[in-house]
Amino acid sequence: MLERFRAFWTRLLNPIARLFIKLGISADAVTLVGTLGVCTGALVFFPQGKLLAGVLFITAFVFSDLIDGHMARVTGKTNRFGAFLDSTLDRIGDGAIFGGLALYFAGPGDSRLYLWLSLICLVMGSVTSYARAKAEGMGYHAKVGIAERSDRLVSILVMTGLGAIFDLPILMEVTLWALAVASTVTVLQRVWTVRQQAYAEAASS
């Protein structure tokens, strides 16, 4: 759903991308620094209960995912390694966010239920991405589902931030429930989609 806004944000961040290019900064370096920033915000601030600070810190770095790709296209230095690195580090950043929330609920948040929900979101989010990558590697398409990566990321960051601002932890808690369900449904949708393609292929051969 949120992928439709990618072009808008890319245009908005274009001046920053061009500045980095002039400074001789590579797209891969932006990818790496962005991931380190996201991991730092999630694993340093969240476990201490500093949810708003963590969200703001993460937000400052999360747009690197758009900047690095735009830099590669502008410079004409797009390559398969860059795409591989970007995708791999995205999984690390996503895991850090939900891992940080799990540590928060294991500490100051003091909730075993939401600790487990955070871990479910972490695992199912990773499986969602893996299922699509594995399917495409086998020649099938699996870009289906109700919870794309950008939807999951924006939802949890926005609701965690708003919950911290207005002292309404229920916003984050409801979002974790929604994402746990949506991610699980998305995995099942992708498994079913690939199953249909695989059986249709077998029947026609």
pLDDT at residue 152 tops 80: yes
At 5 the pLDDT is: 62
Positive or negative, the CA dihedral 88, 35, 71, 60 is positive
Neighbours of 173 (CB within 10 A): 18
In order of their start, the domains of the chain are 2-204 (1.20.120.1760)
Answer with the residue of higher pLDDT: 147 or 43. 43
At 6 the pLDDT is: 67
Reduce the DSSP state of residue 1 to 3 states and report it. coil
What does the alpha-carbon distance between residue 7 and residue 9 come to, in Å, rounded to a whole number? 6
Answer with the residue of higher pLDDT: 161 or 63. 161
Helix, strand, coil % (nearest 5) of the chain? Answer: 85, 0, 15
Q: What is the pLDDT of residues 178-187, one digit of tens each?
A: 999 999 999 9
Q: What is the pLDDT of residues 38-62, one digit of tens each?
A: 999 999 999 999 999 999 999 999 8
Q: Are 152 and 2 in contact (CB under 8 A)?
A: no
* Residues near 12 by beta carbon (within 8 Å), at least 6 away in sequence: none
DSSP track, 118-169: HHHHHHHHHHHHHHHHHHHHTT------S--HHHHHHHHHHHHHHHHHTT-H
pLDDT at residue 109 tops 70: yes
* Residue 68 known to be catalytic: no
Burial class, 22, CB count within 10 angstroms (exposed 0-12 / middle 13-18 / buried 19+): exposed
Q: Which of 28, 68, 86, 90 is catalytic?
A: 90
Average confidence (pLDDT) over 60-68:
86
Q: At 165, is the pLDDT very low, low, confident or very high (cuts 50, 70, 90)? A: very high
Average confidence (pLDDT) over 152-164:
97
Q: Report pTM.
A: 0.92
Q: Are 101 and 45 in contact (CB under 8 A)?
A: no
Nearest to 183 by CA among 116, 128, 115: 128
**What percent of the chain has pLDDT above 70?**
97
